[in-house]
Structure 1
Amino acid sequence: MPTSPKRFLFIVQGEGRGHMTQAISLFEMLTAAGQEVVHVVVGRSSRREMPSFFQNRITCPLTGISSPNFVADKNNKSVKIGPTITHNLVHFSNYVQSLKMLNNIVKETKPDVIINFYDFLGGLYNGLYKPKAEYICIGHQYLAYHNHFPFPNKQGFNKNLLLNNNKLTAWGAKKLLALSFAAYPEDKKSGVVVVPPLLRKEVMKLEPTEGDFILTYMVNDGYSKEIESWHAGNPSVKVQSFWDKKGMPNPHRVDDTLTFHQLSDTMFLQLMSQCKAYVSTAGFESICEAMYLGKPVMMVPVQGHYEQACNALDAVQAGAGVSSESFNLTKVIDYLPNHQPIVGKFREWTDRCEELILQELLG
């Protein structure tokens, strides 16, 4: 351990909640270890607001900047690769200004280490501006370099796109920390360090119970139509759901057994600890939270989002639950009697998180 604290700057992708909750966990882990996080920069798109739970937990200066992001279809469900490329090219001048803003922040704060939570602009900044600070990347996506990582079949183009995205975010990185659902065999050729998920301490303090409702979360609110459609045919099943749909009341009660909530870290975790099953678009972080709490999971990869298809396959392999092409909750209800608990094994892995990550960042 160094005798003087290191100064860290975070760059966080603001798409979904996963990268932000990872940043909160590492922020608190580093500060508890006597280190200093001098600034957090969040890459944002106009279609998402920065959640209040993130702003409340990050106690250092916090700045949002315009950053490349995915474009969804007109129903706000699937990812469209062509329009995504076009949109980001059209807005390239905005990203140039973001790079300049980020460079000014780096010059003012003089960090020793820049940590990027999978934001494209972070990789561009490090590759083009070549700051003196060490550049380290953290994300489940980097596990794709490991020779044991499972890829969906017959999607060569999308696989190459994911790997190229990884290269962009990690341009010039000194180290890649690959967050994983489970320990992987050593693979020195991969160039990645496999580490446990960055779970928040609040998750570890919860005492889970088995309630009578299913909890759902969708990164794109267009999937709410699927939930409402399923609910119309199964009105007796209680469903609590989280979204970030703008202009809607909070909560939005469809009826006595279906309610939509705006994102809230405390309520989300409370309901997660009490649900009988968790159904979500196939991000990484909330799946890990469910696994830690012993909740069976059904993952619905966002259409056209290859990374989520990989996440779902990897999580199923780790024993989290099942995957589905839609929010047909009947599938997870049918799965529940067959779920094999893995909570003990998963907790053993996640309990090593602080030890392994601080060793990589401070050792």
Structure 2
Amino acid sequence: MKIFYAVQATGNGHISRATQLYPYLQKHGEVDFFLSGNNASLDFALPLKYRSKGCSLFYSKCGGLDYWNITKNIKPYQIYSDANKLPLKNYDVIINDFDSVTALACKLQNVHSVQFGHQASFTSQNTPRPEKKSRMGEFIFKNYAPAPQNLGLHFEAYDSFIHPPIIKDEIVNATPQNLQHITVYLPSFDKECLEKAFKLIPSVVFHWFLDTVKETHTIGNITYFPVNQKEFNTSLINCEGIITGGGFETPSEALFLGKKILSIPIKKHYEQECNAAALKKMGVPVVYDVKDDFNQIIENWLNMDIIYPKVKANNIPETLEFLFDTYNVK
């Protein structure tokens, strides 16, 4: 069997998920990967056969999206050309993790596909949304990477086709400890937006992962790390808690490990707002705007005695069997 797997690189989570799935997919056939977008900072250590600039996200300095930069970097003609060139009819199965180029290619070439991943869960209206829905956000969920079949991943099974999150083997097999540091991963925030708040709590040790850091170094109570999967896993497994955005993979892993979470969803990022709504229902504190009192918010969070529901890890062989069975390919 030949398998085409499209990975959206608007963040590191999609790449992390594809990396975990790859050895399991290989048991079903030969896998070629397509990477679309330019936001990911993780190495793509997979057999990458096709690539497109696709659509990428750009951030403002302190926790928001830069829509001007996003819009001006969209090249419709190039996207159309890239979609036309993808030889999808050479594959038995097309798996699309929320990539618009692959969705367009399937439409142009009249090829069947399955949307697989977190965003697929939002095709169900049962999946949590914020109190105020975004018409544009809902439009994107429906039209950005549509497929005739959907297999979603989320914190809980909000619908019959939604499965538990893909958790990396390193996390599943870990023995978590509390070495009393706080892991920080907030790619939409520049260093200067948060550094002052962290320094105002000298008794708390922070492990801060930043795209702009080239070498690990410590200044005061903050150790600055480059974005590195192995070091991040170690920090997360041994932390007291994590401060992160409103993404999916990192909160899923933290919940699986039983770690405290403080979520700061990216402003005007509807998917992250939806994830934050789901996390709030699970008892996770959510901060929507970082202000001068952020250090007090962190201290209050650390003093909270909250028991979070533990998230299950996906049974990957079972989920892939379900995927291939519903695709009508054995």
Q: Under a length normalisation based on structure 1, what TM-score does the superposition of the two structures give?
A: 0.81
Contact 2:41 2:227 in 1 (8 A): no
Q: CA deviation at 1:226?
A: 2.7
Q: Choose the corresponding residue for 1:306, options 270, 273, 283.
A: 270
- What per-residue deviation string (whole Å, max 9, x for no partner) do you get for residues 215-241 of structure 1? 01012242x223202023222311001
Cα deviation digits, residues 311-357 of structure 1 (max 9, x gap): 111122134x21112453543442343211423xx23xx25454234
Work out the CA distance in 2 between the residues paired with 1:161 and 1:315: 22
Asked if the contact 1:151/1:313 (under 8 Å) is kept, the reply is: yes
**1:1-363 correspondence runs (5 A):** 6-31=1-26, 34-45=27-38, 48=39, 51-52=42-43, 54-55=44-45, 58=46, 60-73=47-60, 75=61, 77-81=63-67, 83-88=69-74, 91-101=75-85, 103-104=86-87, 106=88, 110-131=90-111, 134-155=112-133, 159-171=134-146, 173-184=147-158, 186=160, 193-222=161-190, 224-245=191-212, 248-253=213-218, 255-319=219-283, 321-326=284-289, 328=294, 330-336=296-302, 337-343=304-310, 346-347=311-312, 350-362=313-325
Deviations 1:252-281 (A, max 9, x none): 53x132122222111111110000001101
Shift of 1:296: 1.1
Cα displacement string for residues 32-83 of structure 1 (whole angstroms, at most 9, x for unaligned residues): xx212431111123xx46522x32xx2x34443211123333x264114455
User: What is the CA deviation profile of residues 102-153 of structure 1, one whole-angstrom value per residue up to 9, with x for unaligned ones?
Assistant: x14x35xx2211111112222222122323xx30112222333323322222
Counterpart of 2:216 in structure 1: which amino acid? Answer: P
Aligned to 1:322, the other structure's residue is in SS state: coil
* TM-aligned CA distance change 1:361 to 1:76, over 3 Å: farther
Q: Provide the aligned length of Structure 1 versus Structure 2.
A: 322
Instruction: Tell me the distance in 1 between the aligned counterparts of 2:13 and 2:25.
Output: 18
Could you tell me which amino acid in structure 1 is paired with residue 42 of structure 2? P
Residues 166 and 314, structure 2, Cα contact 8 Å, conserved in 1:
no
d(CA) in 2 for partners of 1:329, 1:178:
36
Shift of 1:29: 2.1
Opposite residue 303 of structure 1, the aligned amino acid is K
RMSD after superposition: 2.3
SS at match of 2:307: coil
Question: In 1, are the aligned partners of 2:167 and 2:314 still within 8 Å (CA)?
Answer: no
Q: Say if 1:181 and 1:318, in contact at 8 Å, map to a contact too.
A: no
Task: State the percentage of identical aligned residues.
Answer: 21
Which consecutive unaligned segments of at least 5 residues does structure 1 have?
1-5, 187-192
Report the counterpart of residue 189 of structure 1 in structure 2: none
1:3 alignment counterpart: none
Q: Deviation string for 1:145-168 (max 9, x for gaps)?
A: 32332222234xxx2222222233
- Greater percentage in helix: 1
8 A contact 1:122–1:169 mirrored in 2: no
Structure 2 gap ranges (5+): none
